[in-house]
Structure formats: C-alpha cells, structure tokens
A and B are shown apart, each in its own frame.
Chain A
C-alpha cells in the first residue's frame, strides 16, 4: 500500500462542474502539497498546507490532520484546468516529498 493514496485516478467533468480530488496518507507529516502537472510539462505548486483550508482563485484545499486526509476542490471548472493533480506529503524537516500517483483530470467544454 502506498503511503500517499489519491482518488479518483481519472476524472472527467463538464465545464462548470465542481470537482473534488481526495488524498489520504499514512505517515506523519509536517505539510501537504497539492501540485499540478500539464501533459509533458513540469510541476507547479498550487498549495502547501499544514492545517485548515487555503483558497486561491477557484481552487480550495483543505486538510484534516487527525484523519490524515486532504481534498482539493475546483469550482466552476474550465478546460484549462485539465491536468494531473498530485498530492505530496513532507514527512518532517527534511523537505523530502512523498508523492501520490496523481489524478488525471479532463474538463470537457
């Protein structure tokens, strides 16, 4: 079993829909990262969370430390949101990230 699990693995949505991607982890962490990767492209950091909730534009990330679970929400989804969304956890003061396998999101017009 992977230390970081994401669901769903693949997600297809219609433009305008509200999207949720989930991440569960089994190790103690100091922070959780949500990352975005476009096909063939590098990785862009969306959020770093250690507690609570963060919002940036149409993106919202939440984390529940007790339940070892985080969610990434996209409101009013758009085709340009189509990408792989990756959850990664930082296990301590080492900055070493453990990655989930990603969620491939396709938003259709």
Chain B
C-alpha cells in the first residue's frame, strides 16, 4: 500500500512563471491538505480539499489555487511565482472523520529564481 506520494520531487522556476504540484493520498483517505514550509520555518497551512472542494484556506493569496479529483488526488497551482514562494510544499492526507493521524508525503522542493 503506497503512502502519500508527491511529484515532482524538485522543481526550479523563474519569477512570473506558473507551477503545478501533484499529490496522491494514502489509499482510503479522502482529504488532502497542502502546507508550505519555508527554509528554517514550520509548515504553514495553505488549504484543504475534500469531495473535490476547498474546505478551508490559510492566509495565502489567490495566486495559490488547488483542485481535487474524483480519485482524491490533488494539485496545487501557484501563478505569477515570486522569489518568496521558494519552499518545500508538503501534502498530507487523512480521513475527514477519522481518528488516525495525517500522513505526509515527501514534499516538493520548489526554487524560484
């Protein structure tokens, strides 16, 4: 049983470009949360998807958008990239009404030049 997978593992973009990151949740999980972790900082909540809809959102601009597909996988899109968007982007999956913990993917490290 694969855990949470993310792609790509690393990515280099330039300012102004757009990027799409992908996440496949752990088998059986229905909820995907995205986090941004800047270097030396703790992760910050971006948003969460359940039943293909954004359930809640952290303090991130509209340049950050997402999508969840019927198979529960998810994408994070960032438009008009800024240098400050350079970070590790983590995806975590869980059951919305479950008792168990969230499972984290290995992350996608994005560098914006």
Contact = CB atoms under 8 A, between A and B. Distances in A.
Nearest to B4: A42
Contact of A35 (B31, B33, B104): B104
B90 A42 contact: yes
Interface in B82-100: 90, 92, 94, 96-97, 100
Interface in A13-36: 31, 33, 35
Nearest to B57: A96
A43 interface: yes
- Interface core residue of A48, A97, A98, A101 (most chain B CB under 10 Å): A97
Contacts of B42: 4, 86, 88, 99-102
Interface of B: 31, 33, 35, 41-45, 48, 55-56, 58, 90, 92, 94, 96-97, 100-107, 109
A42 B102 contact: no
B18 to A, nearest CB: 24
B104 A43 contact: yes
A interface secondary structure, majority: strand
A33 B94 CA distance: 13
B13 to A, nearest CB: 19
Interface of A: 4, 31, 33, 35, 40-45, 47-48, 86, 88, 93-102
**Which 6 A-B residue pairings sit nearest by Cβ, starting from the closest?**
A42-B106, A99-B42, A48-B101, A43-B104, A45-B101, A101-B42
B96 A95 contact: yes
A43 B90 contact: yes
Contacts of B44: 99
Contacts of B41: 101
